[in-house]
Amino acid sequence: MDKDSVRRRKESQNGSTAHKEHTNHKETVKATVLHKDVGLLSGISLIVGTMIGSGIFISPKSVLLYSGAVGPCLLIWAACGVLATMGALCYAELGTMITKSGAEYSYLMEAFGPLVAYLYSWTTVMVLKPSSFAIITLSFAEYASASFYPGCTPPPLVVKCLAAAAILVITTINCLSVKLASYVQNFFTGAKLLIIVVIVGAGIVLLAQGNTETLSNSFDGASPSFGAIGLAFYNGLWAYDGWNQLNFITEELKNPFRNLPLAIIIGIPLVSLCYVLVNVSYFTVMTTTELLQSQAVAVTFGDRVLYPVSWIIPLFVVFSTFGAANGSCFTAGRLAYVAAREGHMVKIISYISMKRYTPAPALIFNGIMGIFYIIPADINTLINYFSFAQWAFYGLAALSLIVMRFTRKDLHRPVKVPIVIPILMVLISVYLVMAPIIDKPELEYLYCTIFIFGGLLLYYPFVYLKVKWARKLMRPITIYLQLLMEAVPPEKIE
């Protein structure tokens, strides 16, 4: 009844919901599905724009702290770029082999079945994606409010309220239009590349002038432990996180067989080069002690090098973090949408706005969860929590590629990487998951594991058994939310 009523309403407006052209009115009527509106430029912007966010402006301190010296710090930044590229190459094969949105969710479903895919979607939709959204918007809020509180730290309440406002604005943009969200992403990606060029250019000038004291004897005093290196990689890889973002929207990508691998090949090496050069620039101005004591590394750099126009640094950092948050929201909505479409989330999340052709219910759900995670947020704790669980799933995704080389030989593979790359990704993922736990066991890792497998308590009755009373309970709620958001189930287009 809920489907029919909304369908009749749409038919009265459009005449039909089929994907065809009216010969009398010469008017194309779109099907109620997510359309292929993302081209190569927008794909590159999504990767670059999501990777370059708050990480390069926050993580340098943590990477330096855990690595122990400038030399190991720069090596870890470069190694993180290589690791991100290796992971992205695996995802290029997976994404062109399985052209469904949802990234890891779709690959785990194909290789290991619905249970593993459900545990991924449960963990990622409920914790990883919204906590990532919260971390980035908190970084945005810290930089945006810093100029109003010179000489002191902005009050936490102000930062959290501003972060919540950013989440509301970004969620609204993504609900309104896919093209609008893509334009916003392209603009802010351009802005962040501009400020990267400014920082790197200033660093090159300073190097030419002989400011190399911090970079000299860069390996002196470095003796990081096994676990400390793992934590340094955690924080470096947090800055690189986003290399898999395009795989979340494969169904909306124009010519994915060409544009997916091409965007990866262009975007990730570009980001890697930027990150290493930006860190070198930081060290031309600050000693290791000064960098560790800085509240905002990029702002300190600007104050010393770009005065009296140093205000452009915090302004463009605000642009950068806003753009990264927009990219995170864009992809998070698609994962929730695909999981709900497969029956692993409540039905309403799989619906599409009948006017805007966006997964509005999924986007709104992610926004609400992001605001929830802002309330108790501590950025460093969230980063460690996020990385621990995320790399476990990255490893499983790489393992799925190896498994499907043997179990799904029939699948067409436009891109095929050497088998040694996914094997290395699996081994590195195991290290990144286990090293910090062995070196310094903390309860947050146990909580994360309990939460992941706690999803089974919901899976068995509601997904596997599909108990009738739950469906009866959700039916009126689904109808109400469907009418409120003017959303309908996606149509099946052959």
488 vs 34, more confident: 488
Residue 328 has pLDDT above 60, yes or no: yes
Q: Are 203 and 284 in contact (CB under 8 A)?
A: yes
Q: What is the pLDDT of residues 419-474, one digit of tens each?
A: 999 999 999 888 888 877 777 777 778 878 888 899 999 999 998 888 889 888 98
Residue 153 has pLDDT above 90, yes or no: no
Q: What is the pLDDT of residues 256-269, one digit of tens each?
A: 888 999 999 899 99
Q: What was the pLDDT predicted at 383?
A: 59
Q: What was the pLDDT predicted at 19?
A: 41
Task: Compute the distance between CA of residue 395 and CA of residue 420 in angstroms, rounded to an integer.
Answer: 14
Lowest mean pLDDT segment, chosen from 29-33, 223-227, 361-365, 409-413: 29-33
DSSP conformation letters of 385-433: HHHHHHHHHHHHHHHHHHHHHHH-TTS--SS---THHHHHHHHHHHHHH
39 vs 21, more confident: 39
CA distances from residue 309 to 194, 303, 406 in whole angstroms, order as listed: 15, 8, 58
Q: Are 362 and 333 in contact (CB under 8 A)?
A: yes
Q: What is the pLDDT of residues 335-350, one digit of tens each?
A: 999 999 999 999 999 9
- Find the mean pLDDT for residues 201-213: 88
Q: What was the pLDDT predicted at 306?
A: 85
Reference 53, options 311, 252, 319, 331; nearest CA is: 319
What mean pLDDT value characterizes the chain? Answer: 84
Question: Torsions phi, psi of 35, nearest 5?
Answer: -95, 160
Q: What was the pLDDT predicted at 98?
A: 92
pTM to 2 decimal places: 0.84
- Find the mean pLDDT for residues 187-191: 92
- Find the mean pLDDT for residues 114-140: 90
Residue 277 has pLDDT above 80, yes or no: yes
Question: Torsions phi, psi of 147, nearest 5?
Answer: -70, -20
Residue 284 has pLDDT above 50, yes or no: yes
Q: Are 333 and 251 in contact (CB under 8 A)?
A: no
Task: Compute the distance between CA of residue 117 and CA of residue 366 in angstroms, rounded to an integer.
Answer: 19
